[in-house]
Amino acid sequence: MTMNKVIGHRGLAGEAPENTLASISQAARQGLSWIEVDVTLLGDGTTVLFHDRRLNRTTNHTGRLKSLTHTKLTTIDAGSWFSAQFAGEPIPELGTALSLIKDLGLGLNLELKTNGCHEGRLVDAVLKALGKTDLSREQLRISSFNHRALVCFSTHSQLPVAHLFDRLPLNWRRKAERTGAVAIHLNAAKVSQKQILKVRSAGYELYCYTVNSQSFARNLIDNGVNGVFSDYPLEGLYPMDLKLIRGGK
């Protein structure tokens, strides 16, 4: 099953603080049916939604994320940096986020962010969390820039995986075959028409990140890209009646 033409990036990072429950909920309110979020580990092995190695950019704390333990999560404000409206928004644990995603009926692209932690440790923790939810195979996709993490994941799970690349490398096909990937995810600013044709003609789905221009997104899709990751809903690129979803507003 392919993802949608527009996948909310880190929830919906242009309209709520990234990788938070608020961002996930905002994506659903805006009518998106698929989102992408990042998962990584705290120092004690707790799985959380977070992108960076350090807390500085998106919380009221500084220092390395791996310095945190589960008991310290309640002291972190991951929302005020975005706006006062989201003051007190926590860094969510993966299990809590998965429950919300299931309740909202969203599809999930879960990106493995090793951030210096051991790939196998992250994969084991993610698999345990996924095992406690009943999200279907059709609602899940696992992606990563880290080839070793994807190899480890695909060795222990039949869930579909996707390879993330900044630029399409010469050995992309070999890496994709090694993990049984169903899709390739590329930087929209660096992808060429030749690469689009190469990936699509090889039988892989192709998604591009991060696209916040509706015209750019439409151009990519018209040229063969299956969909784009965006911080905004990019209305009109997916078949949903947004007026009904938003109560006619």
| Confidence band of 57 (pLDDT split at 50, 70, 90) | very high
Q: What is the pLDDT of residue 80?
A: 98
Closest CA to 165 of 150, 183, 184, 151: 184
| Confidence band of 2 (pLDDT split at 50, 70, 90) | confident
Q: Is residue 146 predicted with pLDDT exceeding 60?
A: yes
Q: Is residue 194 predicted with pLDDT exceeding 70?
A: yes
Give pLDDT tens digits for 171-182: 999 999 999 999
Could you list the beta-strand ranges (E) of 127-190: 140-144, 161-165, 183-187
The Cα 22–Cα 166 span in angstroms is 28
Closest CA to 15 of 208, 232, 234: 232
Q: What is the pLDDT of residue 241?
A: 38
Q: What is the CATH number of domain 6-241?
A: 3.20.20.190
Q: What is the pLDDT of residue 1?
A: 67
| Confidence band of 248 (pLDDT split at 50, 70, 90) | very low
pTM: 0.94
Instruction: Provide the residue ranges of all domains of the chain, joining segments of one domain with +.
Output: 6-241
Average of per-residue pLDDT across 148-170: 97
Helix (H) or strand (E) holding 245: helix 242-245
Average of per-residue pLDDT across 57-82: 96
Give pLDDT tens digits for 111-130: 999 999 999 999 999 999 99
Q: What is the pLDDT of residue 119?
A: 97
Q: Is residue 151 predicted with pLDDT exceeding 70?
A: yes
Q: Is residue 208 predicted with pLDDT exceeding 80?
A: yes
The Cα 230–Cα 214 span in angstroms is 10
Q: What is the pLDDT of residue 52?
A: 98
Average of per-residue pLDDT across 127-148: 95
